[in-house]
């Protein structure tokens, strides 16, 4: 979830599809008042607060709940959003940990900007990047017990191959896992640089020349497994839909196919008729609870990709809750 902070290289990080998110969510946030008074927006993946800042600036009556498991992100976002502090509540939690115990009642808008943030990628010591040597960590929550080093060094070879294949769609998963097994038998793998060496040794040269950096899929797989990202998403999405008031909207931006597949599955079910199959007409009261606001998954325009290359893989989907009971 690239964001508009400035990293160690002083390169601005621009929030992805910011104007489109504003366009999609504002109608739900201004149903009661043009300034957003009475509305609540949950930014489920706060990051550095780039999207949140825009909504709070545009809508001076809006209340915002920002969720993030990373205390560094919350500290940076808290500083950034300090001018709006009377309208902001920051919660340290995974985005599936908020919905059951929320104090805000019905929600008018939800924004998910999935994946690793630019801040985390740029913090070399966090171990998310294959471009810099760092400890094999990859935890979004630095207090979480499981690290990438734990997976690489303790999972049996078959389980490790399954992680790489299922979470990274890595076609050389078995070869990589076997090579990791041989290397760690001599010395545990401790750094991203050591892992990259394994990947160069495992992936054929012809594939390396044409398939991008050999670490891309393995690092994605390990990060996803370390942080339980797919399980969190499977739990959080339906819960967020249940929390929406009628007329509320949810926007999800995914950056990998596994995430987008989950979003598509949940959204397809939410927009399906609830009438028994085979009936020629829609039964009253069984209409779809949600309506899609996008035609499939939207991509970033080329102009945005040119300005912000990290937006190239984004897939955006959005729904509006059109029928159902009001959430108290």
> What pLDDT does 12 receive?
45
> What pLDDT does 215 receive?
84
Q: Which residues are annotated as a binding site?
A: 49-51, 68, 95, 113, 120
> What pLDDT does 218 receive?
94
Q: Is the pTM of this model over 0.75?
A: yes
Domains belonging to the chain, first-starting first, are: 18-119+229-321 (3.40.50.150), 130-227 (1.10.150.170)
**Closest C-alpha to 149, from 188, 109, 101:** 188
> What pLDDT does 8 receive?
39
Q: Which residues are annotated as a binding site for S-adenosyl-L-methionine?
A: 49-51, 68, 95, 113, 120
> What pLDDT does 38 receive?
96
> pLDDT (tens digit, 9 = 90+) per residue, 284-311?
777 899 999 999 999 999 999 999 888 9
> What pLDDT does 118 receive?
61
Residues in the chain: 328
Residues contacting 229, CB < 8 A, separation 6+: 114, 115, 223, 259
Strand ranges (DSSP E) for the chain? 40-43, 63-68, 88-92, 107-113, 244-254, 290-292, 315-321
> What pLDDT does 1 receive?
57
DSSP 52: H
CB 137 within 8 A of CB 148: yes
Residue stretches of the chain with pLDDT short of 70: 1-13, 117-125, 211, 275, 278-279, 281, 283, 324-328
Q: How many CB atoms lie within 10 A of CB 234?
A: 13
């Amino acid at each position: 979830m690239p964001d508009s902070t400035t990293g160690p290289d002083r390169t601005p990080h621009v929030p992805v599809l910011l104007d489109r998110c504003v366009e999609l969510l504002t109608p739900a946030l201004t149903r009661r008042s043009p300034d957003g008074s009475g509305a609540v927006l949950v930014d489920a993946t706060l990051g550095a607060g780039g999207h949140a800042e825009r909504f709070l600036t545009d809508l001076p009556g809006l209340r915002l709940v920002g969720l993030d498991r990373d205390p560094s992100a919350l500290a940076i976002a808290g500083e950034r959003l300090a001018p709006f502090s009377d309208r902001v509540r920051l919660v340290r939690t995974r985005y599936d940990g908020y919905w059951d115990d929320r104090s805000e009642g019905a929600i008018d808008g939800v924004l998910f900007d999935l994946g690793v943030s630019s801040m985390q990628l740029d913090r070399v010591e966090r171990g998310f990047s294959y471009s810099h040597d760092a400890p094999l960590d990859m935890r979004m929550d630095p207090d979480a017990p499981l690290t990438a080093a734990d997976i690489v060094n303790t999972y049996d070879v078959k389980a490790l191959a399954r992680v790489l294949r299922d979470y990274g769609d890595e076609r050389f998963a078995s070869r990589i896992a076997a090579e990791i097994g041989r290397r760690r038998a001599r010395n545990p793998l401790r750094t991203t640089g050591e892992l990259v060496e394994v990947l160069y040794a495992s992936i054929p040269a012809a594939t390396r020349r044409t398939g991008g950096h050999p670490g891309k899929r393995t690092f994605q797989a390990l990060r996803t497994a370390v942080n339980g990202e797919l399980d969190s998403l499977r739990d959080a999405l339906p819960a967020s839909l249940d929390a929406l008031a009628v007329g509320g909207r949810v926007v999800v931006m995914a950056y990998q196919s596994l995430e987008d597949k989950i979003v598509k599955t949940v959204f397809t079910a939410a927009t399906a008729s609830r009438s028994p199959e085979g009936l020629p007409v829609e039964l009253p009261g069984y209409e779809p609870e949600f309506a899609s606001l996008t035609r499939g998954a939207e991509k970033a325009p080329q102009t945005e990709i040119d300005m912000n290359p990290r937006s190239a893989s984004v897939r955006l989907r959005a729904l509006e809750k059109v029928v159902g009971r009001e959430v108290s």
